[in-house]
Amino acid sequence: MNTHLITFPHPVPYADALTLQDELVAKRQADEIPDTLILLEHTPVITLGIRARQEHLLLPRETLASRGIDLAESPRGGDITYHAPGQLVLYPILKLTGNEADAHAFVDRLEEIAIRTAEAFLVKAYRRKGKTGVWTDQGKLAAIGVRFKKWVSSHGMSFNVNIELEGFDIIVPCGLIGEKVTSLNAILKERCPTNQEVRAVMMRQFEVVMERTLMARRSLLA
């Protein structure tokens, strides 16, 4: 199944990506476009999912603004998380039918993409029972929060490549108290691949796991 791929040359503000997702979801529901994958990095932002608790934000909003960090409410599932350059984010806008119309299986496939991407760079990654996302022995590497609207998916998965991990110190990531967050850079150090190398592997794994063929198209925001 051919799937449009939208990428960006620079980090994208969260609000812009949210608007784009909403537009694409509506068009996909109406069958005006094929399945679409958005692959990007965000400018610094803390997002609050539908199950977010305010006490998991550890700094006042004014302090965030002074540090150049946006704060945004998000209709995705999950609690609170942090996005910034150096973190790859997948937003699959897919119409799920038949056996694919299974929320747990969809999340499982996103986790599988993250696990396979990490393993391509010799990093052992795995799931944890009862929790969403992907971990390594050094901490959580990928976070997942999705939304389904008439079985069209949006939002998705964030994967830490060389993001500055200090950004996670100002929240309780995903509401998991005491849990560490890590990145490929923190694990591999000088052996860390570039964002472009990780992006290429992640796209290939998306095609395999989601059983779709990516076709590049120009971004509306590029």
Question: Residue ranges of the domains in the chain?
Answer: 2-216
Question: Is residue 107 within 8 Å of residue 221, measured between CB atoms?
Answer: no
Q: How many CA atoms lie within 13 A of 57 on its CB side?
A: 23
3-state SS, residue 147: strand
Q: Is 174 a catalytic residue?
A: yes
Which one of the listed residues 18, 114, 174, 203 is annotated catalytic? 174
H helices of the chain, in order, are 14-29, 61-66, 103-120, 184-188, 195-210
Beta-bridge mates of residue 72: 47
Q: Which residue spans within the chain are E strands per DSSP?
A: 2-7, 36-40, 45-48, 70-73, 80-83, 87-93, 134-136, 139-149, 152-160, 213-216
- Tens-digit pLDDT string for the chain (222 aa): 899 999 999 999 999 999 999 999 999 999 999 999 999 999 999 999 888 888 999 998 889 989 999 999 999 988 899 999 999 999 999 999 999 999 999 999 999 999 999 999 999 999 999 999 999 999 999 999 999 999 999 999 999 999 999 999 998 888 887 789 999 999 999 999 999 999 999 999 999 999 999 997 655 544
Q: What share of the chain has pLDDT > 90, as a percent?
A: 85
The residue type found at 162 is N
For 13, which DSSP code?
-
CATH: 3.40.120.10, 3.30.930.10, 1.10.1140.10, 3.40.50.300. Which one for 2-216? 3.30.930.10
Tokens encoding 210: 């989601």
Cβ neighbours, 10 Å, residue 152:
20
pLDDT per position as a tens digit, 182-200: 999 999 999 999 999 999 9
Asked if 174 and 80 touch (Cβ cutoff 8 Å), the reply is yes
Distances, alpha carbon 204 to alpha carbons 23, 154, 171, 199, 216, in Å: 26, 20, 32, 9, 13
Do residues 69 and 58 make contact, with C-beta atoms less than 8 angstroms apart? Answer: no
pTM of the predicted model over 0.85 = yes
Q: What is the DSSP letter of 121?
A: T
